[in-house]
Amino acid sequence: MKRFGVIVLFAVSLFLLSFNSPVFANTASIYLNGVQLSATNLSQVEIVNSKVMVPIRVVEELGYVVNWNKTDQTVNIQNNSKTVAMAMNKSSAYVDDRVVSLTSPPLLKGGTSFVPLRFIGEEFGLEVNWDNRTKSVYLSSDALESTLDSLDTTSTNKGLIENIQFADNRLTINMDQSVQPEIFTMSGPERIVLDLPGAALADAFALQNMAGAGSYQINIEEEPSFVSKIRYSLFKSDPSTIRVVLDLNSKASYQLSNAAGNSEGIVLDLFDPTSPTAPATSSDTISDLSTPPTTTTTVPVTGNRLVVIDAGHGAHDNGTTGVSGRVEKDFNLTMALKVEALLGQEPLIDVVLTRHDDTYVTRPDRAKLANDLNADAFISIHANSVLNVPTASGTETYYYSEASKPLADVMHKHLIQATRLKDRKVKYNNYEVLRKSNMPAILLEVGFLSNAEEEALLFTEDFQNRVAQGIVDGIKEYFGIN
């Protein structure tokens, strides 16, 4: 009898372990509204504590924008209206400015980052179901059914994309009217991103290459090729912006031009960055297209530069509250006024504040002010807080667009030197004031009011003067002003 009990206990233990241990399913498939996602048949899926975990590349297949920070091991996932931020092995995540708990935190395994699919799917309005028998994930959403409506292809004010082709390391986008493209690169993995503001998909083309909820994909089978696949989707609705992403097999340089015989068409040629010369292009070259990012972080000075300094929060909006009761809005305003005073001594820089006193300006109006002034830079000053983690500390700088990252990098360098606090790095986020600003725009989180030591430091005159000077020094270096 005793032996029988031991056998039963052993069997029960094995049964429990099968649910509590990660189970690797290398044949799992993912379906969206009944259609298998085109690139997931080879994707790994992990089952951790009965939760489906998928590589972050799978999330991209759903049509969301994914940014992976290898240094911080953090991932930001966004669509038009929401951002989810997570860190590897952390049991909490940020949904916009809201903190939520995770039953299965993201994990890093074999160089691949896995995230909880149900959590992400439901946050973005998907219904998620797991079929253990077939090892399949089924996602359902109304988004796919309304794809053509959301693209609003009937508008005559948009340049309609009639076709996208790729051959011989050349991307060709045929359109019925010209748009001004914006191009930048991303790493980890290597990508080239082409944004087409004022563009939409033509009705017939919108029915081709569907890969997910409002997302499209073209797999590249030719070899050799710099590109493994091309993804495109509606990135923003106002203004309507189509984003085209080239997933690269290896790093590539590029050159933009008009399609031969079609001034509305766009051609992107890729070539080996080690090659001494670029391939020949048509004489129809688009002269004012954005050029590839360079390593320089300064901007040539051509007359006075206008900088908008934003003191976050104000009036009824206190921002965060420190451990001793001090409020963020007061710190932000004090810092903005100090920066304004220092910039007033710079003959080549003009400065405008979004507020000079304890008043409230809406976030859209802060960005609108900078846009209306045609400012050269927008800098929003804030203090940080994680009230349930009183040991959280340090300085971090946020940007939204790739065009803003050089400003963020330069400013963060000077900010860290000035605060002498923990370096929490430069990070991506889609804060509204950054997203709606048309110029390079960054948000500074100087230190933590939820940390008693840092709160006391942030309200000292010496610290504030150092930080204000650091911000001014960052502005001057960015604009190349000695």
Phi and psi torsions of 440, nearest 5°: -50, 125
For the chain, residues classed under CATH 3.30.457.10 are: 21-140
- Taking phi over 0 as left and psi of -120 to 50 as alpha, with beta for the rest, 312 belongs to beta
More confident site: 12 or 160? 160
Q: Residue 435 belongs to what H/E stretch? A: helix 432-435
Q: What is the mean pLDDT of residues 188-209?
A: 78
**Spatial distance between the Cα atoms of 123 and 78, rounded to a whole number of angstroms:** 10
Q: Please tell me the predicted confidence (pLDDT) of residue 298.
A: 36
Q: Which fold has domain 305-479?
A: Aminopeptidase (3.40.630)
Q: Residue 461 belongs to what H/E stretch? A: helix 461-479
**Range in 289-298, 391-400, 450-459, 464-473 with the lowest mean pLDDT:** 289-298
Confidence tier at 4 by pLDDT (50, 70, 90): very low
**Spatial distance between the Cα atoms of 97 and 93, rounded to a whole number of angstroms:** 10
Confidence tier at 214 by pLDDT (50, 70, 90): low
Choose among 100, 96, 104, 266: nearest CA to 180.
266
For residue 50, what are the CA distances in angstroms to 18, 106, 108, 137, 421? 10, 14, 17, 13, 40
Phi and psi torsions of 155, nearest 5°: -65, 130
**Spatial distance between the Cα atoms of 326 and 150, rounded to a whole number of angstroms:** 45
Confidence tier at 1 by pLDDT (50, 70, 90): very low
Look-up of token digits 């029988």: 4
For residue 81, count other CB atoms closer than 10 A to its CB.
Answer: 10
Confidence tier at 293 by pLDDT (50, 70, 90): very low
Residue 357 DSSP SS3: coil
pLDDT digits (tens, 9 = 90+) for 346-376: 989 999 999 999 999 999 999 999 998 889 9
Q: Please tell me the predicted confidence (pLDDT) of residue 199.
A: 87
For residue 270, count other CB atoms closer than 10 A to its CB.
Answer: 22
DSSP-derived pairing of the beta strands 377-384 and 305-311: parallel
**Spatial distance between the Cα atoms of 70 and 188, rounded to a whole number of angstroms:** 7
Q: Please tell me the predicted confidence (pLDDT) of residue 327.
A: 93
**Spatial distance between the Cα atoms of 387 and 29, rounded to a whole number of angstroms:** 40
Q: What is the CATH number of domain 153-271?
A: 2.60.40.3500
Q: Which amino acid is at 213?
A: A
**Spatial distance between the Cα atoms of 202 and 13, rounded to a whole number of angstroms:** 58
Q: Please tell me the predicted confidence (pLDDT) of residue 212.
A: 54
**Spatial distance between the Cα atoms of 28 and 41, rounded to a whole number of angstroms:** 7
**Spatial distance between the Cα atoms of 33 and 205, rounded to a whole number of angstroms:** 20
Q: What is the mean pLDDT of residues 272-286?
A: 48
**Spatial distance between the Cα atoms of 432 and 370, rounded to a whole number of angstroms:** 13
pLDDT digits (tens, 9 = 90+) for 109-136: 878 888 888 888 888 877 776 666 666 7
Q: Please tell me the predicted confidence (pLDDT) of residue 465.
A: 96
Phi and psi torsions of 47, nearest 5°: -110, 110
For the chain, residues classed under CATH 2.60.40.3500 are: 153-271
- The number of CA neighbours under 13 Å toward the Cβ of 345 is 7
Query: How many Å is the maximal CA-CA distance in the chain?
Result: 93
Confidence tier at 38 by pLDDT (50, 70, 90): low
Q: What is the mean pLDDT of residues 235-244?
A: 78
DSSP state of 287: T
CB of 214 closer than 8 Å to CB of 145: no
**Range in 165-174, 175-184, 251-260 with the lowest mean pLDDT:** 251-260
For residue 66, count other CB atoms closer than 10 A to its CB.
Answer: 19
Q: What dihedral do alpha carbons 326, 332, 335, 336 form, nearest 10°?
A: -150
Verify whether residue 445 is a known catalytic residue: yes
Q: Please tell me the predicted confidence (pLDDT) of residue 209.
A: 66
Cis previous bond, 364, omega within 30: no
**Spatial distance between the Cα atoms of 40 and 61, rounded to a whole number of angstroms:** 8
Q: Please tell me the predicted confidence (pLDDT) of residue 78.
A: 80
Residue 461 has pLDDT above 70, yes or no: yes
DSSP state of 211: E
Residues ≥6 apart with Cβ < 8 Å to 175: 159, 160, 161, 162, 199, 264, 265, 266
**Range in 19-23, 69-73, 303-307, 376-380 with the lowest mean pLDDT:** 19-23
In DSSP terms, which residues pair with 109 in a beta bridge? 112
pLDDT digits (tens, 9 = 90+) for 403-439: 899 999 999 999 999 999 999 999 988 888 999 999 9
For the chain, residues classed under CATH 3.40.630.40 are: 305-479
Phi and psi torsions of 189, nearest 5°: -85, 175
Q: Which fold has domain 21-140?
A: Copper Amine Oxidase; Chain A, domain 1 (3.30.457)
What the block records as the tokens of 121 is 């799917």
Among 84-88, 319-323, 418-422, the range with the most confident prediction by mean pLDDT is 418-422
Confidence tier at 446 by pLDDT (50, 70, 90): very high
Q: Which of 46, 328, 340, 445 is catalytic?
A: 445
DSSP state of 403: G
Cα 461 → chain centroid: 35
User: What does 94-159 look like in DSSP terms, one character per residue?
Assistant: EETTEEEE-SS--EEETTEEEEEHHHHHHHTT-EEEEETTTTEEEEE-STTTTHHHHHTTT-TTSE
